[in-house]
């Protein structure tokens, strides 16, 4: 999926008003940092994955499913096609592959794209260009891959030049199936990575199955929650066993849904530290009900009384899905009056998917007792929250994470709020200003807030300055 400066944000999230808050909740999107290496980092021998093509645009989704081109990135297929700012890409057979993970054309092939320019249809043709490789000032980037689920996952390791045994950061992304491979210098993944390289830290990511250059096996849209965790578990093992990064220098940083994945991995195999951003600890079904209750008002200024009434109408359906273990089709057959609720709050497509993921993915999450998971994390913990984040809703869960960890291991966890910062790490202003802008249907005026990475960098430095805890 092509995206703009904030590349963990699904396409359906990047617009204003009601559609934004309904889609944005699905962004408990994630990053996990593995910091490592007391011996040289060398890639294990593996099948070489070819570089996939990219469209290379920044775009705004439109209500009819099309996209308006806001910027054409250099060395992209869009540039080859002659796309221009303001062109509209309608939904259609020739556009769909560019916005479906794993479906992009082979680099070098001839491609066509129909657009609307100044109100008139235009047929464009050109050559599909390979996604450029990432580059960082002061860093060395290595593209590799690892075996998983009958296929290969692309991984990316960036290390600072002239730094022996740097900590290495493994970024575990969130719920969406977008790529974390970021040739666009304005991408949030690049902004995070450059901050880590500048601090003398390494930076590691892995693509989800079927995403980016990853090939073979089930796709991201087909796997469930347990399979996704296992993919990140496999990458964690690859980083330590094959790339030679010791756990004494690995930090997991889970962003959004990654804030669920990271502690699960850390509870199994202890890293040096665990940090999370914009995540939850309460039961997922309870969190979802709270989204129905509060988020429309907080984000878009919808009537809070009406939103609370709607949430109560949806409660029974959520119970059948999350706690009753029923498939959406079974709920629809037995309770046709619940179909609209499933489409509205769960993003059900009438078949097997909810907001781009298989419905089993979401149904499995309430079975994860996150209080128990966090009780087993024996590494230092940093719980970060942007206090204008209305997708994670409030800092309550983030504070409780630190409290739970400190209950079992006093003094090992801390909570820190980053002022006027949203779920996507943007300095966006206070909640009231966000709501007012949404009511006026104005796009947010925001950019990446370096205070987020500054807090992470300082915490990692403090942890690394202390003796390595005894195993146990």
Print the SS3 string covering 68-93: EEEEECCCCHHHHHCCCCCCEECCCC
β strands within 292-366, DSSP E: 353-354, 357-358
> Who's near 437: CB < 8 A, 6+ residues apart?
443, 444, 445
pLDDT in tens, 120-151: 999 999 999 998 999 999 999 999 999 999 99
Give the number of other CB atoms < 10 A from CB of residue 343. Answer: 15
Give the model's pLDDT for residue 96: 84
Residue 60, pLDDT above cutoff 90: no
Give the number of other CB atoms < 10 A from CB of residue 353. Answer: 16
Structural domains in the chain, CATH included, are 20-47+133-282+367-464 (3.40.50.1820), 57-127 (2.30.42.10)
Distance CA 229, CA 225 (A): 6
Give the model's pLDDT for residue 50: 86
The model's pTM is 0.86
- Tokens representing 272 are 């040096």
**Type and span of the H or E element at 49:** none
Percentage of the chain modeled with pLDDT above 70: 90
3-state class percentages of the chain: helix first, strand second, coil last, to nearest 5: 35, 20, 45
pLDDT in tens, 417-450: 999 999 999 999 998 888 888 888 887 778 999 9
Give the model's pLDDT for residue 23: 41
**Measuring CA to CA, how many Å separate 322 from each of 176, 317, 328, 357, 399?**
20, 9, 10, 15, 25
Mean pLDDT of the chain: 88
pLDDT in tens, 82-106: 999 999 999 887 888 888 777 888 8
Give the model's pLDDT for residue 47: 52
Query: Averaged over 210-238, what is the pLDDT?
Result: 95
Query: Averaged over 356-373, what is the pLDDT?
Result: 97
Query: Averaged over 220-238, what is the pLDDT?
Result: 97
């Amino acid at each position: 999926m092509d995206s703009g400066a904030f590349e963990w944000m699904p396409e359906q999230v990047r617009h204003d008003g009601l559609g934004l808050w309904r889609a944005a909740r699905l962004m408990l999107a994630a990053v996990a940092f593995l910091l490592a290496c007391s011996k040289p980092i060398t890639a294990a021998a593996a099948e070489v994955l070819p570089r996939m093509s990219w469209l290379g645009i920044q775009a705004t989704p439109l209500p009819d499913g099309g996209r308006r081109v806001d910027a054409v990135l250099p060395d992209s297929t869009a540039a080859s096609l002659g796309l221009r700012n303001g062109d509209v890409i309608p939904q259609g057979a020739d556009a769909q592959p560019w916005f479906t993970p794993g479906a992009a054309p082979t680099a070098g092939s001839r491609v066509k794209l129909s657009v609307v320019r100044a109100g008139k249809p235009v047929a464009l043709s050109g050559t599909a260009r390979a996604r450029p490789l990432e580059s960082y000032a002061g860093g060395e980037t290595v593209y590799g891959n690892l075996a998983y689920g009958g296929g290969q996952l692309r991984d990316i390791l960036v290390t600072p030049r002239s730094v022996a045994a740097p900590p290495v950061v493994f970024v575990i992304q969130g719920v969406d199936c977008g790529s974390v491979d970021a040739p666009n210098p304005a991408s949030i993944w690049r902004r995070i990575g450059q901050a880590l390289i500048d601090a003398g830290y390494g930076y590691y990511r892995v693509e989800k199955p079927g995403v980016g250059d990853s090939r073979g096996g089930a796709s991201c849209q087909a796997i469930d929650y347990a399979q996704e965790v296992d993919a990140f578990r496999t990458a964690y093992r690859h980083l330590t066993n094959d790339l030679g990064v010791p756990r004494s220098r690995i930090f997991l940083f889970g962003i959004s849904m990654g804030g669920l994945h990271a502690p699960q991995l850390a509870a199994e195999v202890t890293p040096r530290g665990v940090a999370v951003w914009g995540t939850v600890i309460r039961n997922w079904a309870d969190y979802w009900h709270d989204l129905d209750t509060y988020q429309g008002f907080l984000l878009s200024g919808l009537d809070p009384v009406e939103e609370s009434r709607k949430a109560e109408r949806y409660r029974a359906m959520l119970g059948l899905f999350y706690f009753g273990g029923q498939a959406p089709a079974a709920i629809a057959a037995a309770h046709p009056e619940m179909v609209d609720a499933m489409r509205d709050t769960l993003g059900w497509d009438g078949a097997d998917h909810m907001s781009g993921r298989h419905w089993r993915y979401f149904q499995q999450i309430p079975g994860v007792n996150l209080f128990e998971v966090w009780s087993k994390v024996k590494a230092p913990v940093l719980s970060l929250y942007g206090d204008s984040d209305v997708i994670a809703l409030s800092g309550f869960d983030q504070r409780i994470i630190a409290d739970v960890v400190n209950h079992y291991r006093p003094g090992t966890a801390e909570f820190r709020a980053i002022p006027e910062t949203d779920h996507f790490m943007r300095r966006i202003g206070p909640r009231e200003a966000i709501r007012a802008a949404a009511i006026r249907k104005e796009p947010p005026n925001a950019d990446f807030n370096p205070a987020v990475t500054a807090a992470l960098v300082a915490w990692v430095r403090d942890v690394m300055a202390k003796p390595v805890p005894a195993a146990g």
